[in-house]
Structure 1
Amino acid sequence: MIEIDQISKVYDGKAAVDAVSMTVETGTITVIVGTSGSGKTTLLRMINRLEEPTSGEVRINGVVTTSMPGHILRRRIGYAIQGHGLFPHHTVGRNIGAVPQLLGWSKEKTRARVDELLDLFSMDPAQFRDRYPAELSGGQQQRVGVARALASRPDLLLMDEPFGALDPIIRARAQTDLRRIQRTLGSTIMLVTHDMEEAIHLGDRVAVMDGGQLVQHGTPAEIIQNPATAFVADMVGGVDRPLRLLSLIAVADIVEDGPATGTPIAAEASLRDALSACLWSGRDALPVTRGDAIIGRVTLPAIRAQAQATA
């Protein structure tokens, strides 16, 4: 558990972060979202003490972060940034193994961890371990950056606009990868973004920053349905709110009995995906599958009714 308790950072008499408090539960993703200058990156950097707080404290599993030297703390916390920050003259394997090496892991243990993470990120170790960053695509470089941050099995992974430099298609895949891997490893992640769509897609909880203050902290559905301020409402977007809510609801939640033809949709897909499929194909109903079996259908009227009910 990460406890942020009345933490502030003041520069030249002005608060960049102003008495922010929040709790991050173990094994969850919390996304900090806000416009440029809202204090979100400064808040993140105070957690691993790349920035020292002016006041307040951070506790990780009950331990106050200032109770240990900063470089020791940072070895316990993974950190991934936009553009990945890989060492260009080190191989992929050496990049991922950098922190375990600092921690004194054996070569065998480090190599095993490197290969485990490459497998987890769907990158064949035999094919990628000895490559250099310049030989990788942007999406592959970003995967290696996240793998490096996870290499020492940190208590917490901090991510600052990690997907901002990627094109939209690769970015969507990277987000899906991160969610899958977080669920597999049970990692605790705090991620900064300026993109509310990304925050809603990734976050178990979303923290909205404005002018250095935490103006709302809740589940994606709470943020969308009950924005606490006009700023939050503007970030969520009035006309897009029903669509954003549909992206949080699984097809399985409204599956019904009955016939439907054409390409099916997975039960785990969102109602937003189902709506797009209906409108694209001109169908009023889609077969719904779980695994290889058809379990029912989802209909366009049911999707629209759900959107109206949550608007």
Structure 2
Amino acid sequence: MIELAGISRVFGTRTVVSDVSLRVAAGAILTVVGTSGSGKTTLLRMINRLVEPSAGTVRVGGRDIRTVPPHVLRRGIGYAIQGYGLFPHRTVAENIAVVPRLLGWDRRRIADRVDALLGLFNLDPAAYRDRLPAALSGGEQQRIGVARALAAEPPILLMDEPFGALDPIIRGQARADLRAIQRRTGTTIVLVTHDMDEALHLGDRIAVMDRGHLVQEADPAALIGMPATDFVRALLGGGDRAFQLMALRDVDDLIEPGPAPGAPIPAGTSVRAALAESLWSQRPALPVSRDGVLLGRVTRAALEAQGARP
């Protein structure tokens, strides 16, 4: 668990973060969202002591981080940033191995970990381990950046706008990759973003920052259903809240026995995406599959009914 208690940061006469208290449960994803200058990145950096709080306390696993030397603390907390931060003259394997080497891992253990992470990100170790970052696409560099942050198996991963440099298609896949990997590893993640849609899709809880203040902290459905301020409402945008809620739910609980025509949609598809497919393809029901096995169908009526739920 990560606990922030009354955290503030002042630079000169400017208060960048003001009296913020938050808890992040072990194994959860907290997304921190806000406009530029809202204090979200400073808040993130106080967790690993890249920025020292002016007031308040940060605890990780119940321990005040001020009692831990900064370099020791950071070796136990993964950190991924926008632009990936890869060393350009080091190979993919050497980039991923940075922290394990600092921790004194032996060569065999490091090599095994590098290959395991490349496989986890669907990158063939034989094809990628000896490449330099310049030979990688933006999406591949992003994956390597996250793999490096996870290399020493940290229980906590901090991410500062990690997908900001990616195009929309690759960005969507990167989000899905992160969610899938987090479910496998149980890593606690704090992710900063300016993109409310990204915050809603990734976060188990969402913290909204405005001019240094925490103005709301809630799960995605509660945030959409009851925005606490006009600022939160503006970040959510002018779209229909029912459709925003439908994007947070998947079809798995709506599957019923029976046939349906056409190509199946995969289990885990959002209700919103499934409804769009039903309307575009003019099919009143869609087959649903997982790993090539048909599970049943989901009807348009069942999908539409989700829009009426609170």
Shorter-normalised TM-score: what interval? over 0.9
* Alignment correspondent of 1:202: 202
> Aligned pair 1:70/2:75, yes or no?
no
Q: 2:149, 2:32 → 1: CA distance? A: 19
How far residue 207 of structure 1 moved from its aligned partner, in angstroms, is: 0.8
Q: 1:108, 1:243 → 2: CA distance? A: 50
* Alignment correspondent of 1:177: 177
* Alignment correspondent of 1:8: 8
Give TM-score, length-normalised by structure 1: 0.96
Q: 1:107, 1:295 → 2: CA distance? A: 45
Gaps of 5+ in 1: none
Query: What amino acid is aligned across from residue 40 of structure 2 in structure 1?
Result: K
Q: 1:112, 1:259 → 2: CA distance? A: 45
> Aligned pair 1:113/2:113, yes or no?
yes
* Alignment correspondent of 2:187: 187
* Alignment correspondent of 1:309: 309
Q: 1:96, 1:267 → 2: CA distance? A: 32
SS at match of 2:248: coil
| Aligned pairs (5 A) from 1:249-260 | 249-260=249-260
How far residue 214 of structure 1 moved from its aligned partner, in angstroms, is: 0.9
| Aligned pairs (5 A) from 1:152-163 | 152-163=152-163
Q: Does the Cα contact within 8 Å between 1:260 and 1:286 map onto a contact in 2? A: yes
| Aligned pairs (5 A) from 1:203-242 | 203-242=203-242
Q: 2:303, 2:106 → 1: CA distance? A: 54
* Alignment correspondent of 2:104: 104
CA offsets 1:170-227 (integer angstroms, 9 cap, x no match): 1111111111111111111100000011111111111111111111111111111111
SS at match of 2:309: helix
Identity %: 59
CA offsets 1:46-66 (integer angstroms, 9 cap, x no match): 111111100001101011111
How far residue 272 of structure 1 moved from its aligned partner, in angstroms, is: 1.0
Q: 2:283, 2:32 → 1: CA distance? A: 38
* Alignment correspondent of 1:88: 88
How far residue 308 of structure 1 moved from its aligned partner, in angstroms, is: 2.6
How far residue 112 of structure 1 moved from its aligned partner, in angstroms, is: 1.1
How far residue 258 of structure 1 moved from its aligned partner, in angstroms, is: 4.8
Q: 2:283, 2:18 → 1: CA distance? A: 51
CA offsets 1:25-47 (integer angstroms, 9 cap, x no match): 11111100111111100000111
How far residue 267 of structure 1 moved from its aligned partner, in angstroms, is: 3.2
Q: 1:59, 1:239 → 2: CA distance? A: 38
Give TM-score, length-normalised by structure 2: 0.96
Q: 2:276, 2:23 → 1: CA distance? A: 36
Distance change (3 Å), C-alpha of 1:267 and 1:126 = closer
| Aligned pairs (5 A) from 1:140-159 | 140-159=140-159
Q: Does the Cα contact within 8 Å between 1:207 and 1:216 map onto a contact in 2? A: yes
How far residue 268 of structure 1 moved from its aligned partner, in angstroms, is: 2.0
How far residue 291 of structure 1 moved from its aligned partner, in angstroms, is: 4.4
CA offsets 1:138-161 (integer angstroms, 9 cap, x no match): 100110000000111112100000
How far residue 281 of structure 1 moved from its aligned partner, in angstroms, is: 0.9
Q: 1:222, 1:289 → 2: CA distance? A: 30
CA offsets 1:245-273 (integer angstroms, 9 cap, x no match): 11121212223345421122233211011
* Alignment correspondent of 1:131: 131
| Aligned pairs (5 A) from 1:256-275 | 256-275=256-275
CA offsets 1:101-155 (integer angstroms, 9 cap, x no match): 1111111111111111111111111111111000111100110000000111112
Q: 1:269, 1:252 → 2: CA distance? A: 8
What is the root-mean-square deviation in Å for CA atoms of aligned residues?
A: 1.4
Gaps of 5+ in 2: none
Q: 2:228, 2:65 → 1: CA distance? A: 31
Query: What amino acid is aligned across from residue 208 of structure 2 in structure 1?
Result: V
Q: Does the Cα contact within 8 Å between 1:251 and 1:266 map onto a contact in 2? A: no
Query: What amino acid is aligned across from residue 103 of structure 1 in structure 2?
Result: L
Q: Does the Cα contact within 8 Å between 1:96 and 1:148 map onto a contact in 2? A: yes
